[in-house]
Structure 1
Amino acid sequence: MTAVTTTTADTFRPALHYAARNTWLNDPNGLIHHAGVYHLYYQNNPFGNVHGNLSWGHATSTDLLTWTEHPVAIACDDDEEIFSGSVVFDKLNTSGFGTGTTPPLVAIYTSAYRQGSAHPGIQAQSLAYSLDGGYTWIKYSGNPVVDRGSANFRDPKVFRYDGDGGSYWVMVAVEAQDFKVVFYKSHDLKSWELLSSFGPANATGGEWECPDLFPLPIDGDPDNLKWVLIVNLNPGGPNNGSAGQYFVGNFDGTKFTSASTVTEGLQDPARLAEYQWLDWGRDYYAAVSFSDAPDNRRLMIGWMNNWEYANKIPTSPWRSPMSLVREVSLRTIEGNLRMVQQVAGDLTSLREKGPSFSLEAVEISDGQHVLDGAAGSVQRIDLSFAPGNAEEFGIVVRGNGVEGTRIGIRPTEGSIIVDRRESGQTDFHGSFASIDTAPIQTRNGSYELTIFVDRCSVEVFGQEGQVTLTELIFPSSSSSGVSLYAVGGTAIANKLSVTQYA
């Protein structure tokens, strides 16, 4: 949520999601919780609302829902653009950037060197440091600190590793066009030693970007850990365009070994649906996690857009929001380890608008049925369906009888869909109007959905977060209706509740 008033000319500015005030935004960077504050840095064009002049924008929050925008943190210059990366709290001052009483925050970012610089056309890893808690930054005079002579070596995620082999910093980065994750080791954040690499594997339909690596307990057991490797890619997602995949396995401080690889080498297009996707929607990309989140929670946020049409979405003067922050966990589901996601912020802290709406045990007959009293443009919808004999059933949000976004279940196919062909403005790009699908099965005979609706998006969490779909939509301001529907038969809405937000 941003402290910017919505006007007629800014119909789509989100109420629940972060968006920059009047500029371009893409990948989240440098995510860290420090001194009680969540810091969200991000790829930002300080001079316009299309991709370019990449620098690190900056916003902060104490609750993961209400964000305050700050001046640009690390700015591009004549030599370099500031591509994606991460921030660590160097509490032992291993880098030497701190003082006797003030350990530094250290940003590790990709220098995308311009023509005319000392490294023309090269992407290499560089450092900046902050001694005031992350609000102002000084670039290290010895940059870059890792240079492979590559034009596509980027997106470093750094964390502190403590294991049998000692304690040191680990960098996870990518050789984007080789579909390869590379791992480095350092004791001071300045000198780095190559450890190993991973890939190609599973989805390789586009460049690999924005990796992350972290341990998660299995089914909540802190004594039983697996490591999760995140690899975003563009294009090549399960419903076209940008997306993120993950691998589950082990990391011994030197090498990551995947236990969930489906295909080695370049992907088999016929097996795309078998890969493990962070999100099946069109608009969840470059997702990475926060360092040092309280209580060892693993919190992630993604860029809510898709490179197929990112520069064309009809928002002004800003362009692109972030997703809601999600807490991720690792659960055993039908004998397999799967990542499960839930919204992390406490939405009860938000101001509710108007009365809530609920119903129970309602049969949905063939057709579309408007729910009087449920309309809204910013809301959370919790619902449970039991299948009947309908070919498809579900809910329509942000509707007005002509347009609307359809979120449906197709039991025979074992799929959930988001249909945004009639969601509002779709003609700004040829690939935007879409029906996007994800696999889903009943749990105890029902389908449980939680849907977050905002002024330009829907985020769908199925079966308590086992499957998610994130989609941008651009409906007219008058489209606020909510309807239930069935096709070719009946279904049962076991329960439905709608919470309205301002």
Structure 2
Amino acid sequence: MVHTIGKSLVEKSSNMFQVLVVLCVVVCCNLTSAFAQEADILIADFEESSFSKWQQEGYAFRKGPANIKYKNTYKIKGFRGKGFASSYMDKSLKHVGSLKSPEFLVERDYINLLLGGSPFVNDAGVKLLVDGKEVLSIAAVKGYNLNETSIPVKKYKGQKAQILIYDKSPGYWGLILVDHIVQSNKKIGYEPLVLPINITEKLLIFPVAKFGTARQMDIKVDDVIIHSISVCLAMKDEDVAWWGYLDMSDMIGKKAIIALEAKVNSNIQKMIQCSAEPRLLQLQHFDKFRPQFHFSQLQGWNNDPNGMVYYDGKYHLFWQCNPLGTSWGNMYWGHASSPDLIEWTEHKRALRSGGGKGLPLNMRHDSMATGACFSGSGNIDHNNSLGLNTAEKKTLLLFNSDMNAGIAIFSSQDGINFKRWMKQYPLGLSGRDAKVVYHKPTQQWIAVSCLDNKQHGKHYPIFTSKDLQSWELKQNFLDMHECPEFLELAIDGDKNNKKWVLMEANGKYFVGDFNGEKFIPDTKEKQTTIISGSCYAGQCFSNTPDGRAVYIAWAGFDTDNTVFNQGFTIPMDLCLKTVDGGKVHLYANPVYEIKKLRRKIEIDTSTIELNKNVKVYALALAGDLYDICLSIEKKGSPKSFSLKIQNMEMTYDFESQRFDDHHVPMKGGKVTLRILVDRPTIEFFMADGYAYKLHERKNLSGSHLNKITFSAEVSGTDKVLINNFKVYPMKSILKKNGE
């Protein structure tokens, strides 16, 4: 009986095994069949040296795909393998043309590809041809990054199709970048997302991607646009480069609606959050590119300083910035203040890039322009022109260049929160970048803007107004470009003897007279103090105590895509001095306040002599932040003197009295140097401030400068003396743990 039962069990087990085998075979066959049906079908990956069977017209795509070398040259990202189709050429004018694929049968729901380039479908893009007829066309999201993109083609299944890649524009931005075209049943790329979020803290924080293409994001509260900005968001945790923020402090307790484009199956809904403070992945002082005793914004790109004004006991610095990116774009106005030009407090951004033309002013945030917020100036409403002053306080005014409207006013009673002056938006002034000053002798406002037209070319229109509302053009001052500065200064410290300085963005300027209507320069040629190419778009604080002229410019150095990019010069005191021949020259020197950042002196040497026997002299340096002072004196007829710090070297020619290509005169056979060495920059103040030049400091892999080297080209009894050589290590203005 036991044997029979055992046999029965064996037979049953055998039968069950046979059934399982059959089931496994059936399931595997079905899975294999399903996989075969869903597998992507490659149309093109552009890995060959030519376009093979593709039909080519014109010369936009050259003779074959672009390659790795091409990618490194133009920083193109996001393609696969070694090659991709590209019509990009680094020229203002270029060839046009197209690529047409061989015919293929539509067998999947989507055609997926990697796509970058122009956002204008009439200029460049990708077309789908079905049975020889165009059925749709798409353009890229603007940029040099190739993004995953899906074209829905389900309704064309079973029909013959072709892909047409085209570039119709000879201009710089008519370009297309394409790679890895496949048929697929899987949707990829981006799709619209509407995300409601309750505002519980003053900031919304956003994950910024390591690289990619910026896409539009709008934030509304009660149907009013609060922020309208372009940003490349990280869609998963591992893609986060840093966390950016936007201010929502006046919206706490309300519900915001965020409209953006999200990657298919992304996690972005959970990554955007409210926060009381910015989220930092590392503290500021750990960033090897972060200036240590110059001001730098916490996050994002900066360029021109704007709206600089002394108000309520503090210096207020504004600047153009990109809050959610480390490249140029969006153009908000950042804001920081300081009681002493050394210690800075960064505030919420003062002005916001706009929601576009056609959107009524009352449908956008009070601090929002129509377009990008370009350069401008700041001042105090001295004579209550707008009627906003109170018994306790005058109104702070910002004159902003709204690039979709014109020059406009934003006002503040607390120095932090700004509102558009809506009675007249814009003001009606032509041009942009207006520097607005109050002219006491004539009791009127002066506005100097910049304009480029056929009649006058690049020039500065000069306007006057009694009330900041009605403006009259008084003069077109020719051959000037961008970001004017216009200020009056005493000559040789004599307040009874003054001249006006009219400066353009590159630092070149005229000294002359101004009668309240017209500026008359003393010379026909522009003068130079701030050496062109070293910094840009500087301006001075308005309304300063005792009429002090404090100047800050944009220091354009690349921080290699860290959490911030670019910076500013050290604040400088400007003054006018008479030089040989009676000419009046502008001098620039670091503000005296920075001396309080000096630590105990590291090197103090009265004289170092360079002669035919000792032509090179080097000294070791212990740190990397310095204020260095010295004087160079010639004895006899030495030919030249050179100074080298890290990777930067400057040479002074004694005969021509030039530092490199720049005239720097000696006085009594001597020329002074003051050198400020911060982490990303080295600044030179030459001949007591007669000339200034900024160098970008590279090779920051180490924390020390290692040494400073002097050398001279001398012979015979000639000598070069380095006198009063003093080296002060500098304190950082950044706060560390526990400070």
Short-chain TM bin: 0.7 to 0.9
Aligned with residue 486 of structure 1, among 712, 719, 723: 712
Hey, what does 1:108 align to over in structure 2?
Answer: 399
Are the equivalent residues in 2 in contact too, given 1:281–1:470 (CA < 8 A)? Answer: no
- The answer to which of 277-286 and 322-331 deviates more is 277-286
Q: 2:531 aligns with which of 261, 280, 292?
A: 280
Aligned counterpart in structure 2 of residue 245 of structure 1, from 486, 501, 508: 508
State how far apart, in whole Å, the 1-side matches of 2:377 and 2:444 are. Answer: 16
Q: Distance in 1 between matches of 2:413 and 2:602?
A: 46
State the match for 2:603 in structure 1.
357
Cα shift at 1:176: 4.0
Alignment partner for residue 437 of structure 2, among 135, 140, 159?
Answer: 159
Deviation at 1:390, TM superposition (A): 4.3
Candidates 389, 393, 398, aligned match of 2:641: 393
Structure 1 residue corresponding to 2:498, chosen from 225, 228, 232: 225
Cα deviation for residue 367 of structure 1 reads 4.8
Tell me which residue corresponds to 1:450. Answer: 674
Q: When you count helix as a share of all residues, which structure comes out higher? A: 2
CA RMSD of aligned residues (A): 2.1
Closer, same or farther: CA 55–278 of 1 in aligned 2, 3 Å: farther
Partner of 1:322: 568
Q: Give, in whole Å, the separation in 1 of the partners of 2:568 and 2:373.
A: 19
Residue in structure 2 matching 1:255, options 499, 505, 518: 518
Identity %: 28
Query: Does the 8 Å CA contact 1:375/1:482 hold for their aligned counterparts?
Result: no
Q: Relative contact order: is structure 1 or structure 2 higher (C-alpha 8 Å, sep ≥ 6)?
A: 1
Q: Deviations over 1:235-277 (max 9, x none)?
A: xxxxxxxx21110111111111111222xxxxxxxxxxxx312
Look up the SS of the partner of 1:346 in the other structure.
helix
Question: 1:408 matched to which residue of 2?
Answer: 651
Counterpart amino acid of residue 249 in structure 1: G
Decide whether aligned partners of structure 1 residues 11 and 17 sit closer, same or farther in structure 2, where only a CA change above 3 A counts.
same
Task: Flag the 1:86–1:4 CA change in 2: closer, same or farther, 3 A.
Answer: farther
**Map of 1:463 onto structure 2:** 687
1:451 to 1:126, Cα distance in 2 relative to 1, 3 A: same
Partner SS state of residue 689, structure 2: coil
SS in 2 for 1:279: coil
Q: 1:325/1:31 Cα in 2 relative to 1: closer, same or farther (>3 Å)?
A: same
Q: Distance in 2 between matches of 1:126 and 1:375?
A: 50
Task: Tell me if the contact between 1:299 and 1:325 (Cα under 8 Å) persists in the aligned partners.
Answer: yes
Secondary structure of 1:146's partner? coil
Any idea what SS the aligned residue of 2:537 has? strand
Kindly indicate whether the alpha-carbon contact (under 8 Å) linking 1:461 and 1:468 is maintained by their aligned counterparts in 2. Answer: yes
Residues 261 and 136 from structure 1, CA distance in 2 versus in 1: closer, same or farther, beyond 3 angstroms? same
Change (3 A) 1:294 1:315: farther
Does the 8 Å contact 1:103/1:131 carry over to 2? yes
Query: 1:89 offset after TM fit, Å?
Result: 1.1
Map 1:298-447 onto structure 2 (within 5 A): 298-305=549-556, 312-314=558-560, 316-334=562-580, 335-350=582-597, 352=599, 355-365=601-611, 367-372=615-620, 374-388=621-635, 390-397=638-645, 399=646, 404-417=647-660, 437-447=661-671
Q: 1:413 to 1:288 in 2, by over 3 A?
A: same
Which residue is 2:306 aligned to? 29
Q: Distance in 1 between matches of 2:517 and 2:532?
A: 33
Aligned pair in 2 of structure 1 residues 315, 416: CA closer, same or farther (>3 Å)? farther
CA-CA distance at 1:97 after TM superposition: 3.0
* 1:216 pairs with one of 489, 513, 517: 489
3-state DSSP of counterpart to 2:725: strand
CA shift, 1:135, in A, is: 0.4
Q: Could you say what secondary structure the match of 2:299 adopts?
A: coil
8 Å contact from structure 1 (residues 385, 495) kept in 2 = no
Q: Equivalences for 1:66-145 in 2 at 5 Å?
A: 66-79=343-356, 80-99=371-390, 101-113=392-404, 124-132=406-414, 134-141=415-422, 142-145=424-427
- Deviation of the 1:363 alpha carbon: 1.4
Q: Which deviates more, 448-457 or 338-347?
A: 338-347
The residue aligned with 2:727 is 498
| 1:386–1:447 CA contact under 8 A, matched in 2 | yes
What do the CA deviations read for 1:356-414 (whole angstroms, capped 9, x no partner)?
21112221245543213x443111111111225543223222x3xxxx21133121332
Please tell me whether residue 169 in structure 1 is matched to residue 445 in structure 2: yes
Distance 2:452 2:416 in 1: 30
Q: CA deviation at 1:102?
A: 3.9
Q: In 2, distance between residues paired with 1:196 and 1:317? A: 44
SS of 2:595's partner is helix
Q: Is the 8 A contact 1:369 1:483 kept in 2?
A: yes
Q: What is the rounded CA distance, in whole Å, between the counterparts of 2:301 and 2:592 in structure 1?
A: 24
CA distance in 2, matches of 1:93, 1:395: 53
Rounded to whole Å, the distance in 2 between the matches of 1:38 and 1:482 is 35
Deviations 1:416-459 (A, max 9, x none): 13xxxxxxxxxxxxxxxxxxx31123211112111111111111
Task: In structure 1, give the amino acid aligned to 2:488.
Answer: P
Whether contact under 8 Å (2:319, 2:333) holds in the other structure is yes
Cα distance, 1:250–1:30 mapped onto 2, change above 3 Å? same
Separation (CA, whole Å) in 2 of partners of 1:183 and 1:146: 13
CA positional deviation for 1:101: 4.4
Mapped contact 2:598–2:728 kept (Cα < 8 A): no
- Structure 1 residue 278: Cα displacement: 3.2
> 1:486, CA displacement in angstroms?
2.2
Between the aligned partners of 1:58 and 1:108, the Cα distance in structure 2 is 14
Pick the aligned partner of 1:48 from 325, 346, 364.
325
Preserved CA contact (<8 Å) 2:529 2:690? no
Letter in 2 for 1:130: S
Q: Distance in 1 between matches of 2:542 and 2:293?
A: 23
1:184 alignment counterpart:
463
Closer, same or farther in 2 for the Cα pair 1:46/1:176, shift >3 Å?
A: farther
Q: How many residues align?
A: 423
CA distance in 2, matches of 1:158, 1:381: 36
State the shift of 1:500 in Å.
0.5
Task: Report the CA distance between 1:145 and its aligned residue.
Answer: 0.9
SS at match of 1:347: helix
- The letter for the 1-side match of 2:437 is F
1:22 offset after TM fit, Å?
1.5
Q: What are the within-5 Å matches in structure 2 for residues 6-21 of structure 1?
A: 6-7=285-286, 10-21=287-298
Corresponding letter in the other structure for 1:218: I
Work out the CA distance in 2 between the residues paired with 1:384 and 1:60: 35
Which amino acid is 2:419 matched to? Answer: I
**1:135-188, CA deviations, whole angstroms, 9 ceiling, x for partnerless residues?**
01001223111254xxxx21011111122xx31111111114622111112222
Question: For 1:135, what is the secondary structure of its paired residue?
Answer: coil
Contact kept, 8 Å, 1:283 with 1:471, in 2: the verdict is yes
Residue 296 of structure 1: which of 543, 547, 568 is its match? Answer: 547
Distance 1:102 1:355, change over 3 A: closer
Q: CA deviation at 1:313?
A: 5.0
In the alignment, the residues of structure 2 paired with residue 60 and residue 392 of structure 1 have an alpha-carbon distance, to the nearest angstrom, of: 43
Question: Secondary structure of the residue that 1:413 maps to in structure 2?
Answer: coil
Give secondary structure in 1 for the equivalent of 2:290: coil
Range with greater deviation from structure 2 (357-366 or 249-258): 357-366
